[in-house]
Amino acid sequence: MPGRPEQSFEREDFAWLVVMSLVFFALVAIALWREYATPWRPWQRQFKLTLAHAGRFDDARKFHLGIRQIWNPELGLVDRCVSCHLGFEWGGILPATLPQPLTPHPAPAFMAHHPFERFGCTTCHAGQGWATTAYGAHEGGEGWEEPMLSKQLAESCGLSEGELIQMRCNYCHRRDVSTDGMDSINLAKKLIKKKKCLICHTIEGQGGHTAPDLTYEGDKNPELFDFSHVTGPKTVFNWHVEHFISAGKIAPGTAMPDFNLPPEQARALALLMLSWRRINYPPQYIPQPAAQSAPSPAPTASAPQTASPAH
By the criterion CB under 8 A, which residues form the site for other proteins?
Answer: 1-6, 9-10, 13-14, 16-18, 20-21, 23-24, 27-28, 30-31, 34-35, 67, 69, 76, 78, 80, 128, 130-133, 136, 140-147, 149, 153, 156-157, 164, 219, 221-223, 225, 227, 234-237, 239, 274, 310
Asked whether 171 and 275 are in contact (CB, 8 A), the reply is yes
Q: How far is the CB of 22 from other proteins (least distance, A)?
A: 10
Min CB(8)–other proteins separation in Å: 8
CB closer to other proteins, 141 vs 297: 141
Give whichever of 101 and 104 is closer to other proteins, judged by the CB atom. Answer: 101
Contact 76, 119 (CB under 8 A): no
Distance, CA of 128 to CA of 285 (rounded, Å): 21
Which of residues 15 and 291 has its CB atom nearest to other proteins in the complex? 15
CB-CB neighbours of 121 under 10 Å: 21
Cα distance between residue 188 and residue 181, in whole Å: 14
- DSSP states of 252-276 as a string? TT-SS------HHHHHHHHHHHHH-
User: Which C-beta is closer to other proteins: that of 88 or that of 239?
Assistant: 239
We find the least distance from the C-beta atom of residue 47 to other proteins, in angstroms, to be 19
Smallest CA-to-CA distance from 311 within 2, 64, 49 is with: 64
What single-letter DSSP state applies at residue 105?
Answer: P
Compute the least distance from the CB of residue 264 to other proteins, in Å.
17
Give the number of other Cβ atoms within 10 Å of residue 95's Cβ.
14
CB of 12 to other proteins, least distance (A): 9
Q: Which is nearer to other proteins, 90 or 237 (CB)?
A: 237
Residue 243 to residue 249: CA distance in whole angstroms = 7
The greatest distance separating any two alpha carbons of the chain, rounded to the nearest whole angstrom, comes to 97
Nearer to other proteins, 40 or 63 (CB): 40
Strand partners, 78: 71
131 closest CA partner among 143, 119, 123, 139 = 139
CB of 115 to other proteins, least distance (A): 23
CA–CA separation, 84 vs 91, rounded Å? 16
What is the closest distance, in whole angstroms, from the C-beta atom of residue 6 to other proteins in the complex?
A: 5
The nearer residue to other proteins, 78 or 256, going by C-beta atoms, is 78
